[in-house]
A = this chain, B = another copy of it.
Amino acid sequence: MQRSGEFELIARCFTPIARDSAASLGLSDDAAIFSQSPGKSSVVTCDALVADVHFRAVDTPETIARKVLRVNLSDIAAMGAQPTGVVLACGYNRDLPEDWIVAFARAFGDDCAHWGVELYGGDTVSTNGPSFFSLTAIGEVVAKHALRRDAAKPGDVVAVTGTLGDAALGLAILQNRLALAQQHLSAFLTDRYLLPQPRLQTGMQASALGRRIAAMDISDGLAGDIRKIAEASNVGVILDQAAIPLSAAARAAVNQDETCWQQIMTGGDDYELLLCGPVDDIARLGNDVTVIGTVTDTPGEILMTSLDGKMAELAKGGFDHFSTS
């Protein structure tokens, strides 16, 4: 297959995206140059996605492009920061047709515009193996108001944005491990898997309060991720299963098959925010935030009161890319 050279691909597909970024220097220099706003610090995060590990190779280029951007913006949101720019390394499988790359780049550029982030730069390479995308996102925050994982304290409430488990159930539907009778509920869940919604607004709102709030995004499942915030803060947590917010579609799934709770608790890809803080501060974040538990003074102990009212240790089970078990 004949595909355009690296430089032509960049000029054709990515330079137009960077046109609105003075920092990018038109993608024609060795590096981009950006300046922080007065009083702000920069946050920087990186997530790499590999075909058939983090997305399905059969997914559309548009879907993959948005996911690559959004999972990183979710980490920016989890710091309470405003995203400013991104640097994208693309490793295209050498058999991917050029049309695929063009569609990917166009969707990526549109989504950058949608979220108000500039394309600072990147790299474009070819691989014999699965395509991969590595994105570094940069944002700004008042450093002392960044939402860190280690800020939770006993007596805080534990809260989450949105609803949990939708993405894991959506993936189960796409993989024919789950079927719902109502098509619109299925579509809602698969959409939640394919198109993460980074909670930038809530993150920035929490940071703007200027209060002690711990946060992270739930990318590997509630059961595993709650443990990370507990360990970083040296506290314990008691969750209330009945309080976990479910969408109508997820509710239909657990009504049909209660083992769906397993996916809701341990499935990844929700990209909702997990927040810990004083109840009054959390309450100021609005109706999209639901209290699901409390922080205790027993380091590392993660308990959950289940639907039948019994309290038990919550197993880890967070998705881990390398584990073979």
Contacts and interface: CB of A to CB of B under 8 A. Distances in A.
This chain: copies in complex: 2
A36 B36 contact: yes
Interface in A7-63: 7, 9, 25, 28-36, 41-50, 52-54
Interface string A87-128: 111110100000000000000000000000000111111111
Contact of A48 (B28, B33, B91, B138): B91
A246 interface: no
Contacts of A141: 33
A9 B321 CA distance: 11
A33 B42 contact: yes
Contact of A121 (B42, B44, B120, B324): B44
B33 A79 contact: yes
A46 B87 contact: yes
A36 B90 CA distance: 28
Interface string A114-151: 00000011111111111010101111010100101110
Given A46-B89, A127-B132, A31 B78 contact: yes
Nearest to A75: B30
B79 A31 contact: yes
Interface size band for A = 35 or more
Contacts of A148: 25, 29
Contact of A232 (B4, B7, B28): B28
A259 interface: no
A309 interface: no
Interface in A143-190: 143, 146, 148-150
Q: Pick from A78, A87, A128, A322 the residue with the most CB of B within 10 Å.
A: A322
Contact of A134 (B31, B89, B128): B89
Given A46-B121, A120-B44, A121-B45, A216 B30 contact: yes
Contact of A136 (B87, B149, B150): B87
Contact of A126 (B53, B87, B90, B124): B53
A187 to B, nearest CB: 29
13 contacts: A3-B324, A4-B322, A28-B232, A32-B44, A33-B79, A33-B141, A44-B138, A46-B87, A46-B89, A49-B125, A53-B127, A127-B130, A129-B129
Given A50-B127, A126-B322, 19 more contacts: A6-B321, A28-B149, A30-B79, A30-B215, A31-B45, A32-B43, A32-B45, A34-B41, A35-B41, A35-B42, A36-B42, A44-B138, A45-B87, A48-B89, A53-B125, A89-B89, A89-B134, A93-B129, A127-B129
User: Nearest 10 CB-CB pairs, A to B?
Assistant: A129-B129, A134-B134, A31-B45, A48-B89, A30-B78, A89-B134, A136-B136, A5-B320, A31-B43, A30-B75
